[in-house]
């Protein structure tokens, strides 16, 4: 009953906002072109298998810059350029974490230093482990209880959230703040249970930050199985840990975001579609965020291939340094402001190359409602969820300038099994899921370009 | 705008059909219980890794019967029993397909005989290959063009359908009918391009059928890459093929569907939830349909664990022989009729253990509309699509008896990459996706049990 009434209301809305049979035909052309001839999947294979992971500041990131420049040209961009940006240079190097239970032998644990963490300078740092299960529990500890200890934050990823991004947000403070909190009470270093929805032993890295001027002690992550084992040892035993790591910040370096566009036929105002070109320094950065990069390039290619006359300039931005600084996103916003470039809409894909389900919208309610009025057009493509909410890291500088911003919302169930791990590889990406994401992005940009 | 109006209409519908805050709380309890404590994923690992594939008639199927019986008892069923059913016994044995291009050497092709196909009795059958790209093209061939030839049906899976089940339905006639059609014009055997959405070389088996009394010539499938290579050879060359296979129907055998139930507290009428226990004889039958089995058992376990008072009897049916005969489904319907058992609803899961998106409903419009009026309850769980359409193979006998039937609709993008292949393994199943499917099934049964 609801459906029937909903549909008739929608027909009413056609006259209010404009939406025609022609749009439905164009949606079909877009999906057919991308599902049959899309290059995103092959390009993702190239990026992940010939370049691999690509942390900003690394040589492989510079290779990715060249690669993206070429792909944007191949896709038919009228103009391709590099946008200079200063990025931090963080490197990992050799690292190991060992534990000793009572008078036993030192046992090696699978681990990863967190991104941005300082290491031990190649020396051993050791001490007794104390475990807390939550921030609240840690807050109750006195300084003398933490001093010279190693704090193990064993907060498990909450499985009960339906959208895993909520579980991620819930647990992220442990990764971001563990070192700073441990340092404040005189601890030697921090160990966190990985922000992982999987039931495995894969450690997840990701950005942590120190307080300005605070002590820079190391922070490392261990996988879920190791975390459970460690918790088990700690029940009845004194457990020592010994960390040796060479990671740390090695200054800054000039690098680039990569930008390509097709010029607007009526108007030079800009629609941005993007993802981030950098990744963590392990795995292949396939879902995070090779997927967003190749999907964005696919949007441009599809407009050219189908000969869709874009009123506005459609600009693909491959942002630098999202993972450990967001310098690319900030720089893009700054330059756009300096050049007085009018942006009418920006969308990013940075939640994995999984089947699309919706678009997160961060803009005024009138615009949100207009996009919602297009729901029936998207529904046959499995895209039904248009909600006003946060729209992604690289676009917040544009959002702060008043630009309506958006983010592709793919199915989130598998993302935090592999996010920031050695498991984020090309093999984990499904061709159709990836290309359907590119389809959704092309469709929304087609609508925005036509009606805004 | 539409959304807001839709919601207020829904509140109106509360009073019409009944749906309360209490239901929303119960939905949350169900999902939390299953996502935190669900056993489906561990049980699927047991089924796939200790038993593996389990074609009806095989010893491994009989092991699966015992396993399912035990799992239903563990889950807390009040009553567990085996329902006898006569099943066909089809076996594969050794098989090989070779080709020779002009005067070259015989090259081995990766292949699978189609299920139910007769083989060559261990002898070589060879001849020249002719290729058609569609049924229409085949229909135009004269008998003398096909006689003594090997027909290669090279019809590619259509990528452009958004729901891959439509692509599967579109291509299925080639698998089902290739042998019968080839035989009619005197061909020696048939080769089909696999019904596969992947861009790889994995052959997909699946059921084929002969015409009553028609010649029983062999039919085999090859993967997409091999099909492309073969098509390429055929452009300018005579290509011979040689098949040697031992597959074939080996009579019939007594076997069992496995059934367990929790007795209705108010009423003995039955709600069925099920999947099929058999699988093809390769891979592990993880998505097809181990997933449906463990999800159905999870429904029963969750009712017991949460102490939900079920008004009606909730019955889990693990159907025998869906893949090559549907004897279990037919027998279940027959016995239900003989015993005059009233069934008020039946739902199956047989489309893979992927993230749920909706429920297919095959029933009268009033009932469909009632279920649609519950959409807002399901929406937070990513389940939004309630459509009147086909509801699954094992339930059609119940449907034909007038029972309202339904099928879980998971995301379909990855299913036909691995369907009926050696790749349908436990590793391809994601824990959260699988358990969310069980959540949806438990939630819909909770609603039906309460309001019907």
pLDDT, tens digit, 9 for 90 and up, residues A382-421:
999 999 999 989 999 999 999 999 999 999 999 999 999 9
Query: Confidence band (pLDDT; 50, 70, 90) for B152?
Result: very high
- How much is the mean pLDDT over chain B? 95
CATH class of A95-246: alpha beta
Nearest to B159 among A36, A417, A433 (CB): A36
Secondary-structure percent of chain B, ordered helix, strand, coil, rounded to 5? 40, 25, 35
Average pLDDT estimate for A438-449: 98
Nearest to A162 among B13, B381, B413 (CB): B381
- Asked whether residue A111 carries a pLDDT value surpassing 70, the answer given is yes
Domain topology for B2-89+251-451: Aminopeptidase (3.40.630)
- Asked whether residue B18 carries a pLDDT value surpassing 60, the answer given is no
Q: What is the torsional sign of CA B367, B369, B370, B372?
A: positive
Q: How far apart are CA A256 and CA A62, in angstroms?
A: 8
Q: What is the pLDDT of residues A270-319, one digit of tens each?
A: 999 999 999 999 999 999 999 999 999 999 999 999 999 999 999 999 99
Chain B residues with CB under 8 Å of A36 CB are 159-160
Chain B residues with CB under 8 Å of A387 CB are none
> What pLDDT sits at residue B1?
31
- Asked whether residue B268 carries a pLDDT value surpassing 80, the answer given is yes
Q: How far apart are CA B168 and CA B390, in angstroms?
A: 14
Q: How far apart are CA B5 and CA B17, in angstroms?
A: 18
> What pLDDT sits at residue A18?
52
**Contact indicator for A258, A292 with CB cutoff of 8 Å:** no
- Asked whether residue A195 carries a pLDDT value surpassing 80, the answer given is yes
Q: What is the dihedral of CA B349, B351, B354, B356, to 10 degrees?
A: -60
Domain topology for A2-90+251-451: Aminopeptidase (3.40.630)
Q: Does A411 touch chain B (CB under 8 A)?
A: yes
Q: What is the pLDDT of residues A319-376, one digit of tens each?
A: 999 999 999 999 999 999 999 999 999 999 999 999 999 999 999 999 999 999 999 9
Q: Which of A4, A357, A191, A337 is nearest to B162 (CA)?
A: A357
- Domain range summary for chain A, segments of one domain joined by +: 2-90+251-451, 95-246
Residue A127 distance to chain B (closest CA, Å)? 34
Q: How far apart are CA B73 and CA A34, in angstroms?
A: 49
Phi, psi of A307, rounded to the nearest 5 degrees: 65, 35
Q: Which segments of A76-209 does DSSP mark as H helices, in order?
A: 135-140, 143-146, 164-184
Q: How many CB pairs under 8 A join A and B?
A: 97
> What pLDDT sits at residue B19?
58
- The interface residues of chain A toward chain B in range 424-443, judged by CB-CB distance below 8 A, are 430-433, 436
- Asked whether residue B111 carries a pLDDT value surpassing 90, the answer given is yes
Q: Does B2 touch chain A (CB under 8 A)?
A: yes
Average pLDDT estimate for B233-250: 98
- Asked whether residue A166 carries a pLDDT value surpassing 50, the answer given is yes
Residue B373 distance to chain A (closest CA, Å)? 7
**Contact indicator for B68, B82 with CB cutoff of 8 Å:** no
- The interface residues of chain A toward chain B in range 355-394, judged by CB-CB distance below 8 A, are 355, 357, 369, 372-373, 375, 380-382, 384-385
Chain B residues with CB under 8 Å of A35 CB are 159-160
Chain A residues with CB under 8 Å of B431 CB are 198-199
Q: Is the peptide bond before A104 cis (omega within 30 degrees of 0)?
A: no
Q: How far apart are CA B88 and CA B255, in angstroms?
A: 10
Token pair 């993972």: residue: A323
Token readout for A380 is 């046959």
> What pLDDT sits at residue A20?
81
Check: pTM over 0.90? Answer yes or no. Answer: yes
Token pair 């940006």: residue: A85
Average pLDDT estimate for A178-187: 98
Token readout for A251 is 């200054």
Do the domains B93-246 and B2-89+251-451 match in fold? no
**Contact indicator for A172, A164 with CB cutoff of 8 Å:** no
Q: Which of A28, A159, A369 is the best substitution to test chain B (most B C-beta atoms within 10 A)?
A: A159
Chain A residues with CB under 8 Å of B373 CB are 1-2
Q: Does B32 touch chain A (CB under 8 A)?
A: yes
Token pair 């519908």: residue: B13
Chain A residues with CB under 8 Å of B31 CB are 160, 162
- Asked whether residue B450 carries a pLDDT value surpassing 70, the answer given is yes
Q: Which of A431, A439, A440 is the best substitution to test chain B (most B C-beta atoms within 10 A)?
A: A431
Q: What is the pLDDT of residues A4-32, one digit of tens each?
A: 333 333 433 443 445 589 999 999 999 99
- Asked whether residue A79 carries a pLDDT value surpassing 60, the answer given is yes
Token pair 């199985």: residue: A225
Q: Which of B54, B117, B71, B56 is nearest to B328 (CA)?
A: B56
Q: What is the CATH number of domain B93-246?
A: 3.50.30.30
Q: How far apart are CA B187 and CA B142, in angstroms?
A: 11
- Asked whether residue B83 carries a pLDDT value surpassing 80, the answer given is yes
Residue of B nearest to A366 (CA): B1
> What pLDDT sits at residue A11?
39
DSSP secondary structure, B303-316, as one string: HHHHT---SSEEEE
Q: Which segments of B142-223 does DSSP mark as H helices, in order?
A: 143-146, 164-184
Q: Are A373 and B1 in contact (CB < 8 Å)?
A: yes
Query: Confidence band (pLDDT; 50, 70, 90) for B408?
Result: very high
The complex's ipTM works out to: 0.95
Q: How far apart are CA B421 and CA B194, in angstroms?
A: 10
Angle at A148 between CA A145 and CA A151, to 5 degrees: 70
Q: Are B198 and A431 in contact (CB < 8 Å)?
A: yes
Q: Express as a percent the part of chain A with pLDDT over 90.
A: 94
Q: How far apart are CA A312 and CA A257, in angstroms?
A: 21
Q: How far does chain B reach from its first CA to its final CA, in angstroms?
A: 32
Q: Are B382 and A162 in contact (CB < 8 Å)?
A: yes
- Asked whether residue B16 carries a pLDDT value surpassing 80, the answer given is no
Q: What is the pLDDT of residues A216-233, one digit of tens each?
A: 999 999 999 999 999 999
Residue A337 distance to chain B (closest CA, Å)? 33
């Amino acid at each position: 009953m609801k459906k029937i009434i909903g549909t008739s209301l929608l027909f009413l809305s056609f006259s209010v906002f404009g939406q025609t049979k022609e749009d439905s035909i164009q949606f079909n052309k877009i999906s057919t072109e991308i599902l049959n001839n899309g290059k995103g999947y092959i390009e993702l294979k190239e990026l992940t298998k010939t370049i691999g992971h690509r942390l900003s500041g690394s040589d492989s990131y510079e290779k990715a810059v060249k690669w993206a420049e070429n792909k944007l040209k191949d896709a038919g961009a009228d103009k391709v350029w590099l946008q200079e940006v200063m990025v931090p240079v963080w490197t990992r190097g050799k690292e190991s974490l060992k534990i000793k239970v009572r008078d036993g032998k030192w046992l090696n644990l699978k681990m990863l230093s967190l991104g941005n963490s300082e290491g031990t300078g190649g020396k051993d740092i050791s001490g007794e482990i104390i475990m807390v299960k939550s921030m609240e529990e840690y807050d109750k500890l006195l300084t003398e209880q933490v001093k010279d200890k190693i704090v193990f934050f064993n907060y498990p990823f909450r499985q009960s959230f339906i959208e895993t991004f909520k579980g991620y947000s819930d647990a992220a403070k442990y990764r971001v703040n563990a070192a700073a909190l441990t340092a404040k009470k005189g601890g030697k270093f921090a160990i966190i249970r990985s922000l992982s929805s999987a039931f495995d032993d894969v450690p997840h890295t990701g950005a942590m930050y120190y307080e300005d001027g605070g002590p820079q002690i190391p922070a490392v992550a261990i996988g879920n199985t190791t975390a459970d084992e460690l918790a088990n040892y700690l029940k009845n035993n004194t457990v020592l840990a010994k960390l040796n790591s060479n990671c740390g910040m090695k200054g800054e370096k000039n690098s680039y975001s990569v930008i390509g566009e097709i010029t607007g036929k009526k108007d030079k105002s800009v629609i941005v579609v993007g993802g981030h070109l950098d990744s963590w320094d392990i795995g292949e950065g396939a879902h995070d965020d090779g997927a967003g990069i190749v999907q964005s390039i696919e949007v441009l290619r599809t407009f050219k291939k189908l000969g869709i006359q874009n009123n506005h300039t459609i600009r693909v931005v491959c942002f630098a340094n999202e993972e450990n600084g967001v310098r690319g996103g900030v720089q893009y916003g700054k330059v756009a402001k300096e050049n007085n470039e009018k942006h009418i809409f920006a969308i990013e894909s940075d939640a994995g190359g999984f089947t699309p389900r919706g678009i997160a919208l961060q803009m005024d309610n009138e615009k949100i409602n207009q996009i919602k009025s297009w729901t029936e057009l998207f529904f046959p493509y499995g895209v039904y969820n248009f909600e006003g909410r946060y729209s992604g890291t690289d676009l917040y500088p544009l959002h702060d300038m008043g630009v309506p911003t958006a983010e592709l919302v793919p199915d989130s169930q598998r993302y935090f099994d592999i996010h920031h791990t050695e498991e984020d590889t090309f093999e984990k990406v499904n061709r159709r899921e990836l290309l359907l994401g590119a389809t959704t992005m092309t469709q929304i940009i087609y609508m925005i370009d036509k009606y805004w």
